[in-house]
Structure 1
Amino acid sequence: MRNRNRATALAGGDRLVVALMLGIPTLLHVALVWLPALASVGLSFTEWDGIGGLADIHWVGVQNYVDIFTHYPRFWPALQHNLVWLLFLIVLPTGFGLLLAVLLDRRLRFGALYQSVLYLPMVLSLALVGFIWQLVYQPDQGLLNNLAGLHVNWLGDPDINLYAVLVAAGWRHAGYVMLLFLAGLKAMDPALKEAAALDGANSWQTFWRVTLPVLRPITIIVLVVTVIEALRAYDIVYILNKGRNGLELLSILITDNIIGEASRIGWGSALAVVLLAISLGFIITYLVQVFRREERS
């Protein structure tokens, strides 16, 4: 009887521990993520300078959205830059990261060293990455101009500075993508490749017909992470030139309107909602297509 009561007490204590371990992070997540997000949606329909209480908040409906789309000249260039950023990360760093993962999966000599070196930029914060590449891109004493014998203002020229920053962002992103794909390749059953080889498939055919389909769950994660990284990009651009002169991004506009000199909480919240809608649009559309393909197969 005592042993049964003791087991019941332990079970009850375990339930309490599990409830605390799940409940506290959930409450923090709701309080720090979802409630501010819902508050931003509500504030996007208001006019408020951030000073005063609730009485100073004035309802304006969808006027903030109308003004952003029609009377805010910085919005459309910023949106275009974010889409270019997204397309670049999906095509080049993601493809390069997949290539690196495939090469490292072949158990090259010093493979662990290569993996650590390639992943190292991901350990660095985007602010530090921006500082490093600021030294590389300096027009007079920069590493790139000195090595190439050029006199290019990489960050000051609005025609090229976006692509220069994309190289820096891609340098960091490729290592993360490589690690995700490499984890998927390590978990892959070697018998699948052996069966493909017995059927006469070459390396290229094995990759497209066996390896890539097996990596589909990892590919979904990589694309979702890439969309989030591209649309929330802020640190590296702000460090390089505060998001001006050709480097405007939606995240920069949100910050400028909420905590800038002319504090417009309603406008900033509306921009944040637009950015959230674009992010969810990309992610949901891709996930729906993937799940439909899986159901058909």
Structure 2
Amino acid sequence: MQSASASRPAEQWRAGRALEPFTRPLPRETAVGLSLDGRPHTVLMATPENVEDLARGFVVTEAIAAPADIAGVTIKEEERGLLVDVRFAPGALARKARPRNLEGRSSCGLCGVQRLVDAVRPLPMLGQGARIAHAAIPRALAALEAEQALGRLTRATHAAAFFDAEGMLVLVREDVGRHNALDKLAGAMMAVGHDAARGFVVVTSRCSFEMVEKAVRIGCPILVAVSAPTELAITKANEANLTLVALARADGHAVFAGGERLFEMEPA
């Protein structure tokens, strides 16, 4: 079984200092295909640790069955993830599980596809797109902070914003769900015809693989996250030629993939 974490290299940028290589431990993110008595039900994106607990808890919290109705849980490791089957005791009156049409992401876990093959799909390869100065990132973070009206009011939402290559704010959207905020931003950009390849996206959250997937599918070459990425997010970013920056703060950030799109000084 996979471990719960893995260490990946990155480069730390600080204003006025050279890039410094370092290694950071990151959580693993794996597709977990959940079946109920052999019938595929959903795919959850989860850390591959205590997966039996995850399956039992899911069945109970989704009101599918009572704890006493669970006869056992089997786990099988596949190339694309883990297959987990929850077996019910003979005569158990398992309730009908609510239907699921989208993949159960680690951000919410509320809906899911049924097959592992559909959970982590191949991504298109990005072109070169924009290049930005390292200093554009803290400039963007400051601008985004000033525009999070709902976040300041509630302290309970995430934001996703698009910036031009100079770090000037173009659009921002907020939502209680980080992936929802990014979807809202993507829709707003499409509505007014903004070319995602000409700038970069900042999200006020950690970066799991679906955030990378969304950025790639709208054609954005650079994704900046306030918190850390998962190992799978870095893997998918490298596969798609996406520049992935995380742990972004006013005084610096870490580059986990695609550092060639970042430069120290504005070109002459």
Q: TM-score range by the shorter chain?
A: under 0.3
- Which of these two proteins has the greater Rg computed from alpha carbons? 1
Q: TM-score, normalised by structure 1?
A: 0.25
Q: Which has the higher contact order (CA 8 A, sep 6+)?
A: 1
The structure in which a higher percent of residues are helix is 1
Q: TM-score, normalised by structure 2?
A: 0.27
